[in-house]
Structure 1
């Protein structure tokens, strides 16, 4: 089960996130998403648990729990939507909503 965790403290690391969930069952991965430019936490992450029942129990008990002064938002992660721009080569930056328009 893939679990989305939001409102994380910017000081938490992957190991800290894993520790929050390991008491509920086996954690196969825990990853906090970081900004590519600053290498700082973006305040959310994902946890993968091998057992769905343990994952649901973790969601129920950790959603709203306060960690480092912040109430966590925990729920089952939704799959990445299939959208028009999943392939970067299909992007058109010269459209009417673009800030990067080429004007000739």
Structure 2
């Protein structure tokens, strides 16, 4: 199951994210979304876990938990919607 994690502190690394979720089971991937221009974290990312049971437990235990002084949000990730192509000027 793929989860969306938001309101992360800008110092949280992908390694930190993986370790946080590994307490609940096998993490198959942990990715932070980075700003293209600055290379800094945008404060959100995605974590995928092998087991839906483990993922649901992680959601219920981590949603609202304070990490680095911020209350994180954890939810099931929605499928990405197709957006129309941008016009290039």
> What TM-score comes out, normalization by structure 2 length?
0.95
More strand by share: 2
Unaligned 5+ segments in structure 1 are 86-90, 95-104
SS in 2 for 1:45: strand
Unmatched 5+ residue regions in structure 2? none
Which residue is equivalent to 2:54? Answer: 54
Deviation per residue, 1:8-53 (Å, 9 max, x gap):
0000100000011001000001011110110000000000000011
TM normalised by structure 1 equals 0.81
Write the deviation string for residues 46-98 of structure 1: whole angstroms up to 9, x where unpaired. Answer: 0000001100110010000000100001000001012323xxxxx3246xxxx
SS at match of 1:47: strand
Give the length in aligned residue pairs: 89
Point out which structure has higher relative CO (alpha carbons under 8 A, 6+ apart): 2
